[in-house]
Every structure is written in structure tokens, then in C-alpha cells.
Amino acid sequence: MNRPTLLSNQSEAASTSNHPALQPAVTEVPVTPGVHLTGQSAYTEPARQTPAITPGPARGYGSYFASAGDGPAVKPPPGEKDLTDRDPRAAHPNLNLSGRVISANFVIPYKVGLSGGKDWQLGPRSGTSALFDSFAHLASPASPWNHTLVGWTGEIEEVDQARDPAAAQSQNKAAAPIPVDPKSAAPPPPQSNGLRVDRDSREKLEQRLERDPGGKIVPLWLVEEVDSQKDEYILKDQSRWRRYAENELYTLFHYKQNAPADGRETRKAWADYYRLNKIFADKIIELYKPGDIILIHDFYLFLLPSLLRQSLPNVYIGFFLHIPFPSSEFYRCLSRRKEILEGVLGANMIGFQSYSYARHFSSCCTRILGFDSSATGVDAYGAHVAVDVFPIGINAAFTQKLAFGDAAIDEKIQRIRELYAGKKIIVGRDRLDSVRGVAQKLQGFEVFLEKYPDWRDKVVLIQVTSPGSVQVKRNDEDDKKILNKISELVAKINGTYGSLSFTPVQHFPQYLSKEEYFALLRVADVGLITSVRDGMNTTSLEYIICQKDNHGPLILSEFSGTAGPLKEALQINPWDMGGVAAAINEALCLSDNDRHDRFVKLYQHVVSNNVQTWTNRYVRKLLGNLASYDQSFQTPALDRAKLLLQYRQAKKRVFMFDYDGTLTPIVKDPGAAIPSDRVMRTLKTLASDPLNSVWIISGRDQKFLDDWMGHIPELGLSAEHGSFMRHPRSTEWKDLTATADMSWQPEVLEIFQHYTERTTGSFVERKKIALTWHYRRADPEYGAFQARQCQKQLEMTVARKYDVEVMTGKANLEVRPRFVNKGEIAKRLVIEYSEMGETPEFVLCLGDDSTDEDMFRSLKQSKLPQEQVFTVTVGASTKQTLASWHLVEPADVISVISLLNGSADAGNVGAIAVVDGHVPESRIV
């Protein structure tokens, strides 16, 4: 067998919670009294027999607006369809679209179980129904696209024939599903040796999903161990693929932070996250055809856009984030902050739920990466990455059909009204997570009862708290704190304001059946949502649909992504308990006319901006941006895994490094740009490998390079842009310009002196072969203006009389002989090594400004196989470059060299995991 898994599988099913809120005395009380019309349980999902053929998702795939006889009709919004919605290829002929859309989502729409090692059981996956509806729309006859969904199978459970995977919900111990019979034994934990899936079983599932009624699905198998002899995948610790996204990203993006740790587990989780995204990229590249549109969803796949662009430079990519994006002050706490931003900036367009999230993202790109950003997007790597806002909707017609098309729901509504006769009903339904604001809701309700005593005994709050959407193992203490807080608040409110005959807060920590859920939303007099941080709260949208007859007002947190579109909701700050109390009173006191007027506007918005409209609008805007901006110059981030693999395979390697802005940051005083100890150690280690030839090709003069680099005998040095060379293990400099005409220098010096006198902070640097005017210390805007004037004067005078060129650098102008440039040195080195019988099999060339473009050009024109040549531009500028790859800053350059030297720092652990198949055990450095 191959190498065993690094993280052991720990069964959570074996342990149970003894929290008082989850005791049978609490959980056995149904939300609604009575039984289902079919005789099944009224408060738990009924057990279902798995059909012989694959079921489709419970969505209205064929029609997106209810037909006659399907219940109250939701009419489509008026207006003709855009040509892009009907025939995108005709609307954008220059894009050469294939007509295909490949969507990448972390998981497929089903919970998957394997029975007896051969029979697959599929049940609907809860939590992201709006997104799954979007996929169904793209695959439906109403869409002009041919759609394929790529997603992980999710955790595959080994189930008995009688069990349904749909009944196996979250592994969150503190909010586990409540069994119908509390005396029944818990399901056995998974076997410690893992779940085995053979080739026949894999192919059987793949074929079933390929023919799925909701559109073609391509499942991904995420495995750590393979039995090669039996061709079996061994699934262990399957939740490992969630850990980094859910423990690190989800937590921080909701403005929470984990306790400090030594970083070992985070390091492993990051490696798994990188590998996860790489597996997605490899599968999509396998499916891809030119002209395909790739749509990538959510925080599990932040790295996927860049990984795809590394292999498909001209691919069309849209990315959409379904959760909040934090402010830069909070986001910068993320250890892998640069990698996440670089990864998602591989997309052509990035969508968010609200304007504030989009603004935060653009701000992070500017503050952390140094990219220019505006209201329309981010300028990165020579291209414009559009950033826009697309509040998601729901399948309004199908939701209304479900809510009003079942007699069991009507029966439950009647029973609830009888139980709470004469009472106003406030309904809250949230997941067990501190960001959902359940504690704030209860505190606000308590203040309401205190401030408005006339409502006591006349209002009941029905609060349902279901397990959270985050499925990896969480800190038990955090769960207990949340539950304790909720239980204490419920007990306090009921003890203070309740009586023997009435309890003002009815709290149910359990799942709801579909019938119960819609019955509560329909019967409610007020909907109360107090999220302290949320993406798009679809419960608020479903509540509005369900209030078609009742017109109950909605109280909505201003921190929910839904708050922006739903202007007619009563918006509150959940941290302002008095404000929440006042909003509850206002909602209960609204006149019928006010309720009706507010509801009509909310209802019209939800119906008009449904998930189908959202999907069409997003794709339409993506195509519009692709047609408006030339994306052909976008330079992908350096593929470190590919670089490492090629490096290891090569028998002769050549490195060409610029100095300023590449090995060291640009500073105002050029004399202060001295290499750090880490830079020197890293270069010395790299040059000590007998297979490596390392050259520093700089605009600096000989003395500077001798002073700071000359003590490393293995280094080759080139000064003044290739005018002088010093070969490795030599102390002699070779002058390549000994016969050059230098008569132009006095005239250039006079012009430079003229501008120096008029530009405070500027100065002239005299080299043996070139003259450079620096304005790093000058006012940036005035210095740039003077440089343009100086350049114009030089080009009109000196450049016309002598064979020289005027080169613009970073805050400098340089005049040098035309035949002198770094490209000539690069060409010379390739020829010299080839003539010595050491033709390079690996070339890494890095530079940051226009003078380094000559090297990139020369290497592209060489006869070396291009897959062996890595030309990399360094810096956050939006320049268009001849380089094939990019890095953001000099620190990344040193990190990449360290990777080749064998160091496994935090930024390189993902690439090493892809190449080696495992994570180094050393600590993060």
C-alpha cells in the first residue's frame, strides 16, 4: 500500500453531549403538535427508502415559474431577455465561446453513502439550496449553456441498507440531530482502517452522476491512500479537506479568531487546502475546451482561479464568494493572506454579496499586495480583474410551490395557531454558530418584554437552532459556551416573564422537517433575523415568499448580506438591544396598510431577483467584462510545484537574478539597498550546488557587486546592465564595452544636472558605461513629471546623435549604449553553457523593471524548450510583461529560492505537498 494518512480519523459519532439543552426532556418536545397525515413523525425527517435509480435534487428543474395547478403562481419579471441570455455566442462573437459552462463547487448536491461496499445511496445535501438551484438552471432547457458541475463527493459514509445518508447530517456533537427514538443505539463509528472504494464502485457512481436529472456532475475523489494492487481508494479522515477553509478562512471572514497555536496543524491544513485546489484544477483542465466558461464558488476554492490560469493563460474565469469578506485590518491577520488574494485574482471577475464585501476585497488587494484598485475592480498582473456585487436569490417559484402545496403544512399551521391562540408569533430559525446572533436575539427579546410590558403574555418567540454548516470538528468549549449562553437566556426569560400556563420563548435545538419549516414561516407574525455577520441569509427570502397571505414584517440585521437589497425590512443593529426591542414593538404595531405596502415591495424584489435572474446577471456581466477588457496580457502567479518538479529533474540549471527590486526591495537611497543575511545565505546555498550556475545581472556598478556579493566565489556577476562580467570562481572583471564611444556622456550629464537643480531630492549616478538620474527621494508626482520632460529632451537630442538609448527604470532614467542590455548577457550565457556541453535544462530568470524585459525576450527567443524556462517578473505594478510568471515582492523571490534549496517554509508547503504527496513535519518558519 502507499503511504498511510498523516492525520488519524477520529470518530465523533461515538461521543455524545450531555448538555442540558440536548436532554430528551427538551428535544423530545415536537415543534408542532400532532402527527403527519401519512402517520410519520411530526418533528423529524421521515426515513426514506433509497430508489433504485439516482434521484434528482428536490428542485424545479424543468420550469422556473410555477404552472397552473402548482399552487399560487409567481410570475416572471417583465421584459425581454438579453441576447446574452438567449444566445451568448451571437452576443459576443469575438470571445469564441464554446457554449459550455463548467461550475466548480466544493461538494456535489448529494450526501453520499456506500452500502455493502457496492451500492450507492444518495440524499439531498442541505445548506446551499440556492446555489444548487443555480446549477440546475444552467443545466435546464431554459438556459443556452451546456453545464457541467465539478465537485467533491463529500464525506462518504459507510451505511447499512436501512439507513439513508440524508439522515446523517452534521458531525457537530453539540447540535447533533435528535433521533426519533432516544433509546435507539447510535450508529457504529467508521472502521479505523478506512472505507474502501474499488474501481467498479467509483465508475458506477460517476456514471450515475453523469446522467443526473439536474445536469451532468463530475465527482472528485479526495484520497490520501491507494491500494494499488486492488485498485481501491482508502478513505480516512475525510474531513481533513475542510479544515483550513472552515477553521481558518470561515472563522476569520466572520470576524472571529482562533486561539494561538504552534502552527503545525495549520501548516498541514494549508497543504491539504492547496492540494484540494490543485486536484480541482487538474480535473477542470482535463474537461476544458477552448471557449469554456469556468464559474468557481466560495472560500473552499480561493486558489483555483490562479492554478487554472497557470495552465490555461486565456481561460475565462468567474469567481463568486458566498460569505462575507472582512476589512483589511482583520484580513491581514490571516497568515496566508497573500496566497489567498493572489489565488482569487486569477479570475477575470470576482463577485460578492454586498458592496461592503467588494470594497473590503479591493482595499486588501491595495494594502497587502500593492495593486491599484477602483470601484470597478483591481489592476493586477497586466490585466483588469473586475469586482462587482451580485446579491443571490432563491428559486421563488419552487419555494412557493413547496410552502403552499402540501396539506400537511396547512394542518401544522392550524395546530400552531390553536396552541398559541391569541398570541403574536415571532419566528427565528438559525444555525448553531455565534455569528448567527441567537444570543443577541434572545437578549433583544428580553429587553422588549421589559420595555413593553403590555406585550407580556401576548407574544411568543419560537426559536429553532439547527446544527451549523461548518462540518469539521470544532472546539467543544466554544459549542458549549454558545449552548450555555442560549440555555441561560431562555431560562432567564421564561423564569422572569413566563407562568405555569405560558412560556414566552420556545427553543428547539434540532433539525426541522420541510413541513415544519414552511409552516413556521407561514404562520409567523414577525420574522426575526439578528445575524452579527452573514453572507446571504436565504431564510429571510423564504420567509417573504411564505408571507404571501399574512404579510408579516421582517426584522433583519444590517450585518446580513440580505440587508442591502431588502430595504423595506425593519433593519436593526443586533448589538443594540434597545433597538432590537423597539423594532419588535414597531413590527407588532404596524397597521395592515403598512404591512401590505412593505410586503409588496419585498415580495416583488424576491420574485424579480430570483436565483435564475442572479445566474443570468452574473454570467452576462462576466461576458461583458471579458469583451471590454483585453485579458491576453494577464501574467499568472508562479507555479511553484511545476518549478520544483522541473528543478529536480534538471541536470544543469542556470539562474539569472536582477538585484534592486528583485533580491532586495526598492529604497529611496540606492546605497542603502544592501542584501540581508537571509538573502546572502540563500544565494550561497543555491550556488553551492554543483548543478547550479547562479548569476546576478544588475544595473549596479562593479564596486557595489564586489563589496556585497564578491565574497561568494560561486556567484557569477554582471554589472551595469551587462557591460561587465565576472565569472564564477574568478576575481577578474571583463569589460564588454572597451571599444565603445563614450563621447555622449558630457552632453547627457549636462541635461541631467539641469533637472537635478530643479528637482529637490534627485541626484546623478555616474557609472563606467552609463549615466543614471535618480528621483526616488523627490516628490513622487513632481519627480515623475520631471522625468518625462527629461526623457523627452534626451530623445530629441542625444538619442538622435549617438547610438544610445534612454531607459526608464523605477524612479530613474538611464542613458547607455544601445548594444548594452541584460538580454545580451542572457543570450551569451545560454550560448556559453551550451558550447561547454552543459546546455541548461532549467533556467530561472527574475527581474522587476523594464531593463529586465530584455532578458525575458532573449530567453523566449532562445532554442531552449520553453517548459524548461521560467521567466518571472517581480512587483505589484500593473505592467504588461514578456515574463511568463509573476511574484509580488522580493520576499517571494527568497521564498522560491528557499523552496529549491529544500526549505519548507509556510508559503511553500502546498507546492511540496503536491510534488511529494506529503507534508514536511518541520515547524513553520
Return the exposure string of 447-469: e unless at least 16 CB atoms fall within 10 Å of the residue's CB, then b. Answer: bbbeebeebbbebbbbbbbbbbb
Return the exposure string of 225-258: e unless at least 16 CB atoms fall within 10 Å of the residue's CB, then b. Answer: beeeeeebbbbbbbbbbbbbbbbbbbbbbbebee
This prediction has a pTM of 0.82
- Give the pLDDT confidence of 402-416 residue by residue, as tens digits: 999 899 999 999 999
What is the three-class DSSP state of 28? coil
Residue type, 786: Q
- Predicted local distance difference test score (pLDDT) of residue 66: 35
- Predicted local distance difference test score (pLDDT) of residue 221: 95
- Give the pLDDT confidence of 11-52 residue by residue, as tens digits: 333 333 444 444 444 334 344 333 233 333 232 333 333 333
DSSP 173: G
- Predicted local distance difference test score (pLDDT) of residue 479: 62
> Please, what sign has the CA dihedral across residues 822, 828, 831, 832?
negative
Sites in the chain below the pLDDT cut of 50: 1-73, 76-80, 162, 166-191, 923-925
Q: Are 91 and 79 in contact (CB under 8 A)?
A: no
- Predicted local distance difference test score (pLDDT) of residue 771: 92
- Give the pLDDT confidence of 520-566 residue by residue, as tens digits: 999 999 999 999 888 778 899 999 999 999 999 999 999 988 888 89
Please give the Cα distance from 913 to 925 (Å, whole number).
16
DSSP 655: E
Please give the Cα distance from 472 to 497 (Å, whole number).
38
Q: Domains (ranges, CATH) in the chain?
A: 85-155+239-389 (3.40.50.2000), 397-609 (3.40.50.2000), 640-736+823-916 (3.40.50.1000), 744-817 (3.30.70.1020)
Q: Comparing C-alpha atoms, which of 361, 343, 534 is closest to residue 435?
A: 534
- Give the pLDDT confidence of 687-733 residue by residue, as tens digits: 999 999 999 999 888 999 999 999 999 999 999 888 899 999 999 99
Other beta carbons within 10 Å of 909: 22
